[in-house]
Structure 1
Amino acid sequence: MGILAWVVLGLIAGALAKAIYPGHQGGGFLATTALGILGAVVGGYLGSMFLGTSGGAAYGALSIPSIAFAVLGAILLLFIWGLVTQRAA
């Protein structure tokens, strides 16, 4: 998957995760993209670990399963980030 496909997947996943996850999350365009890209990595890893599938690699770069794995990973990262920042405040 090329770098442009990762960025597009990151934009889609980050925006969907922020829309789905309750509460207000800060960050702009770059933070949302980074969240989505990291979410794709985390979601792909967890998908391969628990389901025995490689997420996006098995279905193509921008398919529904790859976006779903990326969004789930990004939501998990939003949850963890909320826990970290809540304790720091």
Structure 2
Amino acid sequence: MGIIGWIVLGLIVGALAKLIMPGKDPGGIIVTMILGVVGAFLGGLIGQYVFNMGGLQNFWSWSTWGLALLGSLIVLGVYRVIVGRKAVSSG
């Protein structure tokens, strides 16, 4: 799947990750969607190296979307922990 496909997929799953993990995020929906793009790449790496999928080539595959969403949730969770820790220590 090309870079444009990963970006589009990341934007969509970033919004889905925000719906699944509601709450206040520093940076708002734009940062969450950017994190979704990063998460989509992470999901692709998980699929390639952990599940030996040889890369995710099909945009409409359930495994592509599931791994991209999983990656987005991981990245969003890590982001909240790191940024939340900084907000608590400086506030």
TM-score bracket for the superposition, by shorter chain length: 0.7 to 0.9
Quickly say closer, same or farther: Cα 1:50–1:17, change in 2 above 3 A.
same
Identity %: 40
Partner of 1:13: 13
Quickly say closer, same or farther: Cα 1:48–1:62, change in 2 above 3 A.
same
Taking structure 1 as the reference length, what is the TM-score of the superposition?
0.77
The answer to whether structure 1 residue 64 and structure 2 residue 72 are counterparts is no
Match of 1:84 among 69, 82, 87: 82
In structure 1, distance between residues paired with 2:49 and 2:2:
23
The gaps in structure 2 that reach 5 residues or longer are none
Q: Which runs of 4+ in 1 moved over 3 A?
A: none
The gaps in structure 1 that reach 5 residues or longer are none
CA displacement at 1:66 relative to structure 2: 0.8
CA displacement at 1:52 relative to structure 2: 1.6
Taking structure 2 as the reference length, what is the TM-score of the superposition?
0.76
Quickly say closer, same or farther: Cα 1:4–1:46, change in 2 above 3 A.
closer
Partner of 1:28: 29
In structure 2, distance between residues paired with 1:42 and 1:17:
14
